[in-house]
Amino acid sequence: MSLKPCNFIPYCEHVLLHVKIRNLLENFSGAIDYSTLSMMLLEAVRERSPKSIVIPVFTYSFTKKRSFSVTASLSEVGRFSEEIRKLYPATQRSLDPVFSVMDTGNNVFKGNEWNTEAFGESSIWKFWDDCDGVIVNIDLPQIVSTQLHFIEKAACVPYRYNKKFKGVVSSVAENNIILEYQYFVRNLEQNPKWDRKRIERTLHQEGVLHYALWEGLPVRWFKAKQMRQVLQPLIEQNPTYLLATGQ
């Protein structure tokens, strides 16, 4: 029992996966569980000899609870993400109390110190822009990419601002430290919302966003730097370009 190779993914690239796995599981009519299917999906991606396969295991709750453990904090971004978190050792989880990722292969982004700025120079998003990493959406109803927040920060959008959150974070060795974390957050009074259809249309028209069908599921994929090179100039001309209110 196996999945088709993910031949839509460019060969030998860094790959970041946003996945909705429920419908894929239903294709197997109960013959396998989420954990097994998650590993099968990774094996299908590995057919493309990726430099790394990175899975978001975010914990937005740090901004409210002010605590995070790299070993114990659950992923808050879907079942596939949480299955991967459980399958791999915490030593392969990046040290970021909000936007941690699990590197399931070469552990290229682990780093040795806590990241203290969500979209800063030491973040996964800066790394992904530098290497022009691939971002894949599998069976998602609309385009999903935290990389867009990195672009918003680079373009200094007026509807977000830097906010600091101080909390207790715990390493693999269970050493607790007090960390001050800077996050480029939404201005809730303005309540900005992306126009995802416009973003997708723009990226597709510019040849950056690509579509595929894999195991009967819709796929989008695009590259981080290419996306920024299209969107950042548009945002700098019109700071609300990404928003539903933008023109």
| Residue whose entry in the numeric block shows the structure tokens 């996964």 | 124
User: What is the per-residue pLDDT across 126-181, written as a single tens digit (0 to 9) for each?
Assistant: 999 999 999 999 999 999 999 999 999 999 999 999 999 999 999 888 889 999 99
**Cα–Cα distance, 90 to 40 (Å, whole number):** 20
Instruction: Walk across the sheet containing 67-69 and list its strands.
Output: 67-69, 160-170, 176-186
Domain segments of the chain as ranges? 14-237
Q: Which residues contact 101 (CB under 8 A, 6 or more apart)?
A: 16, 54, 55, 56, 57, 93, 94, 109, 124
Are 131 and 14 in contact by the 8 Å Cβ rule? The answer is: yes
User: What is the per-residue pLDDT across 75-119, written as a single tens digit (0 to 9) for each?
Assistant: 999 999 999 999 999 999 999 999 999 999 876 766 668 999 999
- Reported pTM: 0.96
Say yes or no to pLDDT of 228 above 90: yes
Confidence of residue 2 (pLDDT cuts 50, 70, 90): confident
